[in-house]
Structure 1
Amino acid sequence: MLSVPGLEKGLSILELLAGSRRGLSLSEIARKLTLPKSTTHCLLVTLKSLCYVSSSESTGRYFVGLKLVDLGNQALRGLQLREQTISFLRSLQEATQLTVHLAILEHDDIVLLEKLKTAETRRIATWVGRRMDAHCTGVGKAILAHLPDADLHRCILEHGLPRHNENTIASEKRLEQELERIRKQGFALDDEEDELGFRCIAAPIFDGEGVVAAVSVVGTLEQITADNLAALAVEAKTTAGAISRILKNRLQSGEPAGIEMATRP
């Protein structure tokens, strides 16, 4: 099996530091991992520059950085949200007989936390963990529509509006008009804007402080049509509303709701 020795060594350092309460010196890390000091120093400099490792100026000891803690918290929150919503997602899949997605916005990208597949006539190229553009996906637009203006404009400025095909919204003015329509109707429609041949209907999920995720149903043009679009939108909104009530109740009772938006200050 192919491996990357430098990456393995870097991860070994992180694992070693994670198990140390007092931190470790350069010499201790090199000795414990049987690595040359020069190699260990280069790895630590790289990890520190990326905020995965921090160090004490007074003692020279190294510790796990806050970025690694943040990654762990994000993973945990994602797992919590999946656990809290899975029964609702299954009910939505059974009611619609369509593929169901649960997604969040993380660092301006949509990340799929869950996918419940059905017997697709055509297979959509999505999987748990996939990162997608927000402006051309149903789940993405459902979330963007409810972001604070400052976060929305920063997201557009930094991420841009890449065109996937002729249906993709690629101008800020058109996107703002679309997001206003989404806020009024309570759901978002991706009409072949991300991938040709597929439509997606998504509804936002709230936790009492703001939007935290979105749920959607996905199907081919034959599965989602003008005749059943409204009924499918009701199903998606009903599911999102039920999940939102659970998260709001948890927040009000002081329990962790499961996830915090990466865009929140």
Structure 2
Amino acid sequence: MAEREKGTSIRRALKVLSAFSLEESFLGVSEIAKKLGLPRSSVHWLLQVLQDEGYVCQDPKSGKYRLSVKLFHLGAIAANTMNINYVAPPIMERLRDLTEETVNLYVLDGFDRVCIEQAEGIHLVRQVVRLGQKIPSYCGAAGKVLVAWQPEDFVDRLISHTRLKPLTKNTISDVTLFKEELAKIRRQGYAVSFGERDIEVVAVAAPVFDEEGKILASLSASGPVSRFEITPQVIEAIMNAASEISYQLGYSKDLEAAMSGGKD
């Protein structure tokens, strides 16, 4: 069989598997042929191959087919690797190599953010955050990203709890300005900060979404204000890296649709 014909057969077999759904978990040959627009004979042959290889089973009473436990096993393997601590590090390291600055991954813990993964910058003088360290979430690019996609009631409770206490002269401590900043972050899909938590540090961050389109983490690059320049290229690199992590975690919707969050 020619390579192109092999490729066509593989694609058709995958389409047959994709024809099954929660609503249609049992399908007959004719039903699959109609859904896919394929000849009934071709579908029958593909199902026989898939059954021989253990990917589908035929119900002896109805004659219809269903997906087998082998696919469940493969799904479990895939789910095991769809873990942010597994997916993120190589992407973070590439981003670190590109920016030459420290790249951190943060998640929310109450009203704080916690660093769960890190790729240290290449310079001797660099921004240092310890793994597991808690930092207020209302200041700094990474924290603002995490807060920007939270429900409004969470934001109000955060403001009430922290009073947006200034950590530097650049911390956004006005409630109206803070909420405007969050809306801006959702619109543009990223956040920047200039000395909001540490007066000598600048940062840029973008959201990481889970398979349901909910924010899971924020990915940031940060460095000394004297060296790290947040250019459009750096912003694009951060957003692309965050998008890649999201995709590998199962997020497949259009990123911009999630970024709007339905809040504006």
Question: Do the two structures share a fold, i.e. TM-score over 0.5?
Answer: yes
CA deviation map 1:91-125 (0-9, x unaligned)? 11112111100000111110000121123353324
CA deviation map 1:39-88 (0-9, x unaligned)? xxxxxxxxxxxxxxxxxxxxxxxxxxxxxxxxxxxxxx9x9422221111
1:140 equivalent in alignment to 2:143: yes
Q: 2:220 aligns with which of 197, 216, 221?
A: 216
Note the residue ranges of structure 2 that are not aligned, 5 or more in a row: 1-79, 253-264
Decide whether the 8 Å contact of 2:108 with 2:146 is kept in 1: yes
Give the Cα–Cα distance (whole angstroms) in 1 for the partners of residues 118 and 198 of structure 2. 17
Give the Cα–Cα distance (whole angstroms) in 2 for the partners of residues 224 and 81 of structure 1. 26
Q: Which residue of 2 aligns with 1:244?
A: 246
Q: Equivalent residue of 2:219, what SS?
A: strand
Residue 240 of structure 1 aligns with an amino acid whose one-letter code is A
Task: Describe how 1:2-13 pairs up with structure 2 within 5 A.
Answer: none
Q: Which residue of 1 aligns with 2:84?
A: 81
Q: 1:171 aligns with which of 147, 169, 174?
A: 174
Give the Cα–Cα distance (whole angstroms) in 1 for the partners of residues 110 and 248 of structure 2. 25
Q: Which residue of 2 aligns with 1:108?
A: 111
Q: Which residue of 2 aligns with 1:191?
A: 194
Greater CA radius of gyration, 1 or 2? 2
Residue 247 of structure 1 aligns with an amino acid whose one-letter code is L
Q: Equivalent residue of 2:218, what SS?
A: strand
Give the Cα–Cα distance (whole angstroms) in 2 for the partners of residues 90 and 152 of structure 1. 32
TM-fit CA distance, 1:209: 3.7
Q: Equivalent residue of 2:187, what SS?
A: helix
Q: Equivalent residue of 1:232, what SS?
A: helix
Count of residues in correspondence between the two structures? 172
Q: Equivalent residue of 2:249, what SS?
A: helix
Task: Describe how 1:113-124 pairs up with structure 2 within 5 A.
Answer: 113-124=116-127
What TM-score results when the alignment is normalised by the length of structure 2? 0.61
TM-fit CA distance, 1:160: 2.8
Q: Equivalent residue of 1:164, what SS?
A: coil
What TM-score results when the alignment is normalised by the length of structure 1? 0.61
Give the Cα–Cα distance (whole angstroms) in 2 for the partners of residues 193 and 159 of structure 1. 15
Residue 180 of structure 1 aligns with an amino acid whose one-letter code is A
Q: Equivalent residue of 2:153, what SS?
A: helix
C-alpha RMSD over aligned residues: 2.2
Q: 2:162 aligns with which of 159, 163, 170?
A: 159
Q: Which residue of 2 aligns with 1:234?
A: 236
Identity %: 25
Note the residue ranges of structure 1 that are not aligned, 5 or more in a row: 1-76, 251-265
Q: Equivalent residue of 1:136, what SS?
A: coil
